[in-house]
Structure 1
Amino acid sequence: MKRIVAHNKKIEIIEDELPKLAGKPSYVLIKTLYSVISPGTELTILSNSENKQVHLGYSAMGEVVECGSDITDVKKGDLVACYGAPYVHHDEYLLVPKTLYAKVPDSVDPKEAALGGLGAIAIHALRIAKLQFGETAVIVGLGVLGQLIAKIANAAAYNVIAYDLHESRVEMLKGENIKAFSSVEEMEEAIRVETKSRGADAVLLCTGGKRSPLTHECLKWIRTKGKAVIVGDIEPDFPRSLMFGKEAELLISRAGGPGRYDSVYEREAIDYPYEYVRWTEGRNVEEYIRLIKEKRIDVRAFISEVVELEDAPKEFEKLLDKESTTLTQLIHYK
């Protein structure tokens, strides 16, 4: 099978062996139909690939071609969305544990389902923020993840205020009853007006760039006892005086939810008890699929650019250009 890897800071397509289901009763073998390029994460991987070969990708969907003996919720021919490296990559075939996929209904566009991993990350970020109905959430950074968070927060009836430097990204949220701005001053005025000068309940930082002045600025935007949630690749550099002055809560959102990086949950495919861990990364993928099925959110703007597998390397180079404003692309597998 073919797979896309980063090698010496370049994108390559290599041939590899087909994954084998033997000895894995709780796994399914999937023929990939679409996988999603995540520019932020994959740019970092690409830049760290000198003198080594690194696999890319973590969100995809495809058709089940074979099931392990313990699989009861899907069968051969079903479509599933799946999430999480090292089980999900830009590969023609994927071997995925039952805790990391969700069945895709016939009414859901397969391309939209491919965003399931990103959807799970966005949903988990909002869960970490612990917002209640009607509270004000400020989303900073409107890449594909920030866009998804803003849309899901709006669907949950939070009062959403969004900000990004790129006017084109701000425009993508116009018309959805989301207050979005490309000017910090305008965003700050919206926070003042919407909260009667009390401050937002939470700010979710979805930007990259490691050290960012936004970690200082965002504390000015939240209310006393408000929350700052790190979602993007930012160092948690927060001044003590502002943290102390507002008794602010600093939270870090890790990937798609409980279970991520736990070998028992992922590799051994042993789920957490539903009554004790209501929302795992797998159940967050399911929730994203529900939102799409019920048309609670519209992600069609994210799936307008589709590239064939053999053309992916050159498209990666364009997409990973730091000057690019493209949010993401889908890779299609024949």
Structure 2
Amino acid sequence: MKSIVASNGAVHILERESPRVKPSFLLIKTLFSAVSPGTEIELIGVSEGKEISLGYSAVGVVEECGEGVSDYQIGDVVACYGAPYVGHAEYLLVPTTLCAKVPENMEPKQAALAGIGAIAIHALRVAKLEFGETVVVVGLGLLGQMIAKIANAAALNVIALDISEERVSMLQQDGINSFSSIRDMENELMNATHNKGADAVLLCAGGKRSPLTHESLKWIRNQGKVVIVGDIEPDFPRDLMFAKEAQILISRAGGPGRYDKQYELQAMDYPYGYVRWTEGRNVAEYLRLVDKKRIDVQPFLTETVDFNNAPGAYKDLLDKKSQVLTSIIAYNN
């Protein structure tokens, strides 16, 4: 089978051995996979002298069910999430804990974004916001846009910020207050909260050390929260943290279970009554939100590329001013 990898700062298609099904896993023939620009472009940059598989969010058709699988059958269309099991490859071998059935009338291309959706949902769960509270989403790449849409669907008061006017305008079409000017965003925030500040700020931007860490503490209320979602170092001044008794939180991937070998490699799910929202259940929740038309992800699906032409798609994603937030890779195998 063919697979997409990063090597020596470039993207290549390689021929690899097709995976064989094993207990509690699904062998999936890929229909579509979604490029995650932030993560994958970073991996390309550190690929000198090695090969790194790219991708972590896809949708496909079940070709074979491993021993012990009872909730899926051959022919099911499923969304799946999580490297190293999910990537840009013609066939995927994925534990059932990282899969969810795609609703019957849902466009498979939308389901390819399920991994990004799960990460967005988990970030909002980490913030522990209640409906009616105010959240500022900073950085409107693919993940920031997804978080803002889901927060809006959850009846939160969403205020979004990005230096790109094009990305700001994309969210404004959903009726979400979005700004390319910090001053304008701050004015809206103070008006909306009667000068109290946001209940939480979600930092979805990149850039390692960033002045946003300092600024975000000014935007939250007393005992408010700052959640780091993007690739930012947690550099927060103690005096501002102390003054507001601020909470600094980090959101890791798509939810409980991520990087747990028992949950992923052995496909051992957590008890529903004790861990309500695992990464797999967050994938299913994203599918529900799209299926019920609570969120509109069509603006993310404007760029579809054939698998064989996928290496060229990464060039557009390097252009930060582009409205292209991701590319959907189509498989014609």
TM-score interval for Structure 1 and Structure 2 normalised by the shorter chain: over 0.9
Question: Does the CA contact (< 8 Å) of 2:37 and 2:317 recur in 1?
Answer: yes
Deviates more, 1:108-117 or 1:173-182: 173-182
Q: What residue in structure 1 maps to residue 174 of structure 2?
A: 176
Deviates more, 1:169-178 or 1:72-81: 169-178
SS in 2 for 1:236: coil
Question: Does the CA contact (< 8 Å) of 1:120 and 1:288 recur in 2?
Answer: yes
Q: What residue in structure 2 maps to residue 108 of structure 1?
A: 106
SS in 2 for 1:185: helix
- For 1:234 and 1:191, locate their aligned partners in 2 and report how far apart those are by CA, in whole Å: 23
Instruction: Deviation per CA, 1:144-166: give whole Å up to 9, x if none.
Output: 10000000000000000001100
- For 1:38 and 1:324, locate their aligned partners in 2 and report how far apart those are by CA, in whole Å: 15
Q: 2:83 aligns with which of 67, 82, 85?
A: 85
Question: Does the CA contact (< 8 Å) of 2:164 and 2:321 recur in 1?
Answer: no
- For 2:127 and 2:320, locate their aligned partners in 1 and report how far apart those are by CA, in whole Å: 29
Shift of residue 317 of structure 1? 2.4
- For 1:66 and 1:189, locate their aligned partners in 2 and report how far apart those are by CA, in whole Å: 55
Q: 1:276 aligns with which of 274, 277, 284?
A: 274
Question: Does the CA contact (< 8 Å) of 2:158 and 2:177 recur in 1?
Answer: yes
Q: 2:67 aligns with which of 64, 69, 72?
A: 69
Shift of residue 315 of structure 1? 1.5
SS in 1 for 2:172: coil
SS in 2 for 1:173: helix
- For 2:209 and 2:145, locate their aligned partners in 1 and report how far apart those are by CA, in whole Å: 22
Runs (5+) with no aligned partner, structure 2? none
TM-score, length of structure 2 as denominator length = 0.98
Shift of residue 325 of structure 1? 4.2
Question: Does the CA contact (< 8 Å) of 1:59 and 1:116 recur in 2?
Answer: yes
Matches within 5 A, 1:105-144: 105-144=103-142
| Structure 1 residues 59 and 296: alpha-carbon distance in aligned structure 2, compared to 1, 3 A threshold | same
- For 2:314 and 2:176, locate their aligned partners in 1 and report how far apart those are by CA, in whole Å: 31
Shift of residue 203 of structure 1? 0.2
- For 2:303 and 2:130, locate their aligned partners in 1 and report how far apart those are by CA, in whole Å: 35
Q: What residue in structure 1 maps to residue 34 of structure 2?
A: 36
Q: What residue in structure 1 maps to residue 284 of structure 2?
A: 286
Q: What residue in structure 2 maps to residue 17 of structure 1?
A: 17
Q: What residue in structure 1 maps to residue 300 of structure 2?
A: 302
Q: What residue in structure 2 maps to residue 228 of structure 1?
A: 226
- The one-letter code sitting in structure 1 at the alignment partner of 2:78 is V
- For 1:155 and 1:291, locate their aligned partners in 2 and report how far apart those are by CA, in whole Å: 9
- For 1:309 and 1:162, locate their aligned partners in 2 and report how far apart those are by CA, in whole Å: 33
Q: Are 1:96 and 2:127 counterparts?
A: no
Instruction: Deviation per CA, 1:272-297: give whole Å up to 9, x if none.
Output: 11111000000000000000110000
- The one-letter code sitting in structure 2 at the alignment partner of 1:176 is D
- The one-letter code sitting in structure 2 at the alignment partner of 1:10 is A
Q: What residue in structure 2 maps to residue 154 of structure 1?
A: 152
Shift of residue 323 of structure 1? 5.2
Shift of residue 316 of structure 1? 1.5
Q: 1:267 aligns with which of 265, 268, 274?
A: 265
Runs (5+) with no aligned partner, structure 1? none
Question: Does the CA contact (< 8 Å) of 2:302 and 2:324 recur in 1?
Answer: no
Q: What residue in structure 2 maps to residue 257 of structure 1?
A: 255
Q: What residue in structure 1 maps to residue 4 of structure 2?
A: 4
- For 2:315 and 2:265, locate their aligned partners in 1 and report how far apart those are by CA, in whole Å: 32
Shift of residue 318 of structure 1? 2.6
Instruction: Deviation per CA, 1:67-111: give whole Å up to 9, x if none.
Output: 112111121111000000000010000000000000001211101
Identity of aligned residues (%): 64
Question: Does the CA contact (< 8 Å) of 1:166 and 1:325 recur in 2?
Answer: no
Q: What residue in structure 2 maps to residue 194 of structure 1?
A: 192
- For 1:262 and 1:209, locate their aligned partners in 2 and report how far apart those are by CA, in whole Å: 28
- For 2:318 and 2:87, locate their aligned partners in 1 and report how far apart those are by CA, in whole Å: 17
Shift of residue 177 of structure 1? 2.8
- For 2:166 and 2:322, locate their aligned partners in 1 and report how far apart those are by CA, in whole Å: 11
What value does the CA root-mean-square deviation take over the aligned residues? 0.9
Question: Does the CA contact (< 8 Å) of 2:303 and 2:324 recur in 1?
Answer: no
- For 2:212 and 2:57, locate their aligned partners in 1 and report how far apart those are by CA, in whole Å: 28
Shift of residue 324 of structure 1? 4.0
SS in 2 for 1:284: helix
Shift of residue 174 of structure 1? 1.3
- The one-letter code sitting in structure 2 at the alignment partner of 1:116 is A
Question: Does the CA contact (< 8 Å) of 2:5 and 2:13 recur in 1?
Answer: yes
SS in 2 for 1:228: strand
